[in-house]
Amino acid sequence: MHIPDAFIPLDQAIVYWIIVIPFIALSIRWARQEMDDMKIPLLAALAAGIFAIQAMNIPVGMGTSGHMVGAVLAAIILGSPWAGVLLLTLVLFVQALGFADGGVTTLGANILNMGLISGFVGYYTFIGLKKIKLSMPIAAFGGAWLGLFISSIACLLEMTLAGTFPLVPGLIAMGTYHAIIGVIGEGAITAVAVSAIAQARPDLLSQFSDEAVTT
């Protein structure tokens, strides 16, 4: 899902940077206001974990690949979609500048897709599923799956707009691969991780108890 530099022209890439920069600034403001001694180690651990899981790429075709994202997991554990934006921004910067994974000019588009779209769609899907009394693991699975799938479609549409990826074959390839990855990877791992944390450290997820979500 990392878009390389050559896949989006510079003028279009600049538009995505303009869109995402205010959200990056808001995520930094969230961190300054909400991060404490308990959340900072979690942030670091999640960043390392997300970096690792994104290293497992599955070729999709035409120079692109599919993989897990992790923004929804970060958003749920840290209690805000802004956590997903901040973490994915940090991870994608390191990947692009240090490991040549994804483009530098297209970082704005990649942050928009994997941090902003995936994080917000997945987090609020999770909240919505909790409000209808689904269990935390099922709600986390649903949020993670949908966040990944929608962000992959956004990625496809950006490349289609740039003229570097055909729409219909792209929908079949990107949609199918990420729908599968969302089940066996993103959704399952997010559900298991959230469930494990809920059992080991329920205080970290207390805001998502049935009583807290419905009030």
Q: Where are the domains of the chain?
A: 5-214
**What angle, 0 to 180 degrees and rounded to 10, lies between the N-to-C axes of helices 81-99 and 10-34?**
130
CATH fold group of domain 5-214: Arp2/3 complex 21 kDa subunit ARPC3 (1.10.1760)
Candidates 72, 73, 43, 68; CA nearest to 55 is 68
Whether the per-residue pLDDT at 56 is higher than 70: the answer is no
| Residue 112 confidence (pLDDT) | 97
Q: What is the mean pLDDT of residues 78-94?
A: 94
Whether the model pTM is above 0.85:
yes
- What pLDDT, in 10s, does the model give residues 101-157? 778 999 999 999 999 999 999 999 999 999 998 999 999 999 999 999 999 999 999
- What pLDDT, in 10s, does the model give residues 15-47? 999 999 999 999 999 999 988 878 888 888 888
